[in-house]
Amino acid sequence: MSSAVIDIGSGSVRLLLGGKKTTVMTKLGEGLNAEGVLSETAIIRTVSAIKDLAMTARLAGAEVHAFATEAVRVASNRGEFLSAVSAECAVDVEIISGYEEAEVALLGACPDGDATVIDIGGASVEIVCGSRGNISYVKSLPLGMVRLTEQSDGAPDLIRAYSVRGLSNYGKVEVLGKAIGVGGTFTSLSAMAQGLEKYDSEKVQGYYLDKETVAGIREKLIEAETPEKIMEIYPSLPPLRAELIKAGAIFVGELFDYLGIDGVTVSEADNLDGYLRYKGLN
């Protein structure tokens, strides 16, 4: 039997099935920063998405595996969420640590060479440096874009200030090999930079996203102000991503400065692919 993997993130739920990925934005981490709990509405949205994706996988004859990251790791009511997923979706969820999250991102994006992989999620950001699977640096911090957007109430100056303060907690990072960006912020910025009206994973994969391009997008997002106006400029964005992308663009600009890099190569291969390798499922 083939294997399918569901990644339950703080911003989205994603399915890897037969080499293809499906993403549903659910913002599971909405309100988590302030309350420390997963909201009832966010749980309902997310459980519904998991149920649909698991059914898709089973209809294709695949065995479903699932893992959850920062939002579920830290939520005081994670037991309620996991019970709902088990009861309504018949899916058992593994909660992986921040270290494991970084490790599977590296395994997914660059299993065979030297790389520094940055994985931007909804509730956390992982930076991992490694060479052929051997890790020389890894750190996961609660700097995700759902958190950053809520903390700042969308104010650009506050987003920038929180980004700078948060990034300082990574300490000295010796960038190793190619810098690779994974996660919805990077893939969305890649699509936006190319002016795609509809998201195209083949065009996103391998795109080099540089500082100058990110700066230009950032200024457009700040000027647009609302998610509705942002979607008019960048039609490839789904509504919930449009709510988070301003924080994403500002954060990425500060990240490039902090790491002293000119840009990243965007990878569609990420922790979903890495989890398959990590568990020996592929």
Tell me: the pLDDT tens digits for 174-211? 999 999 999 999 999 999 999 999 999 999 999 999 99
Give the DSSP H/E element, type plus range, for residue 94.
strand 93-95
Instruction: State both tokens at 248.
Output: 């994403």
With residues binned 3-state (H G I as helix, E B as strand, rest as coil), the percentages for the chain, rounded to 5, are: 50, 20, 30
What string of DSSP letters covers 208-242?
A: EEEHHHHHHHHHHHHHH-SHHHHHHH-TTS-HHHH
What structural domains and CATH numbers belong to the chain?
A: 2-95 (3.30.420.40), 110-271 (3.30.420.150)
269, two tokens: 């291969």
Q: Determine the Cα–Cα distance for residues 196 and 194; give it in Å rounded to an integer.
A: 6
What integer pLDDT is reported at residue 58 of this predicted model? 97
Rg of the chain's alpha carbons, rounded to an integer?
17
What is the b/e burial string over 145-167, where b = at least 16 CB atoms within 10 angstroms of the residue's CB? bbbbbbbbebebeebbebbeebb
CA distance linking residue 151 with residue 67, whole number of Å: 26
What per-residue confidence (pLDDT) applies to 38? 95
Task: Render pLDDT for 244-262 as a digit per residue (tens, 0 to 9).
Answer: 999 999 999 999 999 999 9
Mean pLDDT of 45-72: 97
The rounded distance, in Å, linking the Cα atoms of 241 and 38 is 19
Binned at pLDDT 50, 70 and 90, residue 1 comes out as confident
pLDDT band at residue 131, thresholds of 50, 70 and 90? confident
* pLDDT for position 112: 86
The answer to whether residue 111 scores a pLDDT higher than 90 is no
